[in-house]
Amino acid sequence: MESFLPFFPLNLVAYPTENLNLHIFEPRYRQLINECIDQNLTFGIPSFINNKLPGYGTEMKIMSLAKRYDDGRMDIKTKGLRIFKIVTVQNPVPHKLYSGGKIQFIEDQDSPEGVISELLLQLDRLYQLLQTKVDFDSTQYPFSYQVAHKVGLSQEEEYQLLTMNSETERQRFLLHHLNKVIPIMSEMDRTKARIQMNGHFKNLDPLNF
């Protein structure tokens, strides 16, 4: 079933469940956001990658208007709802400043319980190597969207994950990525340690031949 959404294209990938803060300053998007606030409508963020719309995006709901400036600019807090695929584009929408189009919402083909255990282990290893703490809830579905921006994916890889309509497939995609990057990061960490030891006195155990 097709629906219509006004478009706010951005050079990023937004995911369902994601909280995204936006500063609105262009006249066309100020018009779009004002209409969404006044009429309690949602809008779409189609990913704009390599100067084109590849076709997928995320429906966004305005959660709150954080600030309205005297010149009409706004700060808003939004939340991702559903993934959509673009069917047609109107740029601009008749009698509007902004673009929009017909879309089809994409539903997941599966809803697995829990997270692949190896993925959780690799996430722990990654954040230990980075010496940082990332909060996520492994009981919340879909899990993949919680960490997709936090594992070092390229923008193209983030978009590839957006197009997947299977949580199992997305988790396997993330695991495959981590299985590639963690050994490289581990070796870099060891190299860093060796560099830092250079010039220091070393207490080495004797070797038995």
pLDDT tens, residue by residue, 36-47: 999 999 999 999
Domains and CATH numbers, the chain: 2-106 (2.30.130.40), 117-197 (1.20.58)
pTM confidence score: 0.87
Residue 209 has pLDDT above 80, yes or no: no
Give 75-124 pLDDT, tens digit per residue.
999 999 999 999 999 999 999 999 999 999 999 999 898 999 999 999 99
Burial of 12 (0-12, 13-18, 19+ CB in 10 A): middle
Amino acid at 31: Q
| Residues whose CB falls within 8 Å of the CB of residue 139, separated by 6 or more in sequence, listed in order | 114
